[in-house]
Structure 1
């Protein structure tokens, strides 16, 4: 049994979705960032946290990579060229999609008001659009980022596209809009998102 700590409206969704795709049992503790329930396992107060046999794992990418490796599904085998490509795409998404969206969020409502730079969002949107053009040339021709099987980068990309729409960062590539619709239609995704209202 796994325990997931964090609110669904955060990167915690990535972990819940991965667990649902894998069909694993877990407990979900709906705790906000920096709350006592979170700080008890992660002194930084960030979510998500996955607790495995009393040991906390932090960072959504580390968690979903651990889960896919531990259960031998939704990933390519470590040490293979496919895994190197998978890891490269994961890093690209974290650097070019997640980082821009997180910086925009910090300058919208996270940083103290006197430290926020509202004008920075224009350059972040520009970078986000440019990164979309690059990504579609790196994606496979299949339904998923790497081909015919959902893998770790799909969870990150679909979540970032959700986040982009909420942050009013346009999805300018039609292919990514179609991809996003397919990901959101997955039963496991719907089950994870439904926990927001649970």
Structure 2
């Protein structure tokens, strides 16, 4: 059985949702980032962490890729063109969505007050909006990679939710509907209820 470390309102949600989609049993330790409990599993205190037996894995996207490959679900097979395209989408989302949201978070509450530059958030919101428009244009089916949910969908939906919570501008109707449909999945609902 797996153990997920990190609160639902963090990148740990990605891992919880993935495990629900896979139908895999897991325990959940709601350890806050940088807490002593989180440092038990990751010396940096960053969450999420995943225990698989005695092994500890960190970084939400490394964990999602590991789980998808291990269980052969929610991913294209490694070494295929489809996987290369999926990985390209994942990396694009990390660069154009996740990194922008993380930069905004750092300048909102993560960095010490004297290191924050709140004025940068306006440019980050504009950059995110431009990326959201690009993503909407890439949607060609119910999911980013076609007819089945894959790792990039979990990442994209998590980032869209994060953007709403961070007060970013609303995305266009097509991308909004995409996120809404993902949030209505039973696995998402089960993970969010933890």
Q: Is TM more than 0.5 here?
A: yes
Corresponding residue of 1:194: 193
1:21-32 → structure 2 map (5 Å cutoff): 21-32=21-32
Corresponding residue of 2:68: 68
Corresponding residue of 1:162: 161
Distance in 1, Cα, partners of 2:133 & 2:42: 36
TM-score normalised by L of structure 1: 0.96
Cα deviation for residue 34 of structure 1 reads 1.3
Cα deviation for residue 53 of structure 1 reads 1.4
Whether contact under 8 Å (1:161, 1:171) holds in the other structure is no
Task: Indicate whether 1:104 and 2:104 are aligned.
Answer: yes
Distance in 1, Cα, partners of 2:138 & 2:178: 14
Deviations 1:16-74 (A, max 9, x none): 00000000001101111111221122111100000111111000000011001000001
TM-score normalised by L of structure 2: 0.98
Distance in 1, Cα, partners of 2:40 & 2:171: 41
Corresponding residue of 1:92: 92
Deviations 1:77-108 (A, max 9, x none): 00111100000000000000001111101100
Distance in 2, Cα, partners of 1:133 & 1:75: 24
Whether contact under 8 Å (1:143, 1:179) holds in the other structure is yes
Distance in 2, Cα, partners of 1:171 & 1:183: 17
Task: Indicate whether 1:117 and 2:117 are aligned.
Answer: yes
Corresponding residue of 1:174: 173
SS at match of 2:74: coil
Corresponding residue of 1:40: 40
Distance in 2, Cα, partners of 1:175 & 1:122: 23
Distance in 1, Cα, partners of 2:38 & 2:54: 14
| RMSD, aligned CA | 0.8
Distance in 1, Cα, partners of 2:137 & 2:89: 11
SS at match of 1:40: helix
Distance in 2, Cα, partners of 1:129 & 1:162: 14
Whether contact under 8 Å (1:74, 1:152) holds in the other structure is yes
Whether contact under 8 Å (1:2, 1:26) holds in the other structure is yes
Whether contact under 8 Å (1:76, 1:82) holds in the other structure is yes
Corresponding residue of 1:152: 151
Deviations 1:124-169 (A, max 9, x none): 0010011112222333x21101111000000000000000000111
Q: How many residues align?
A: 194
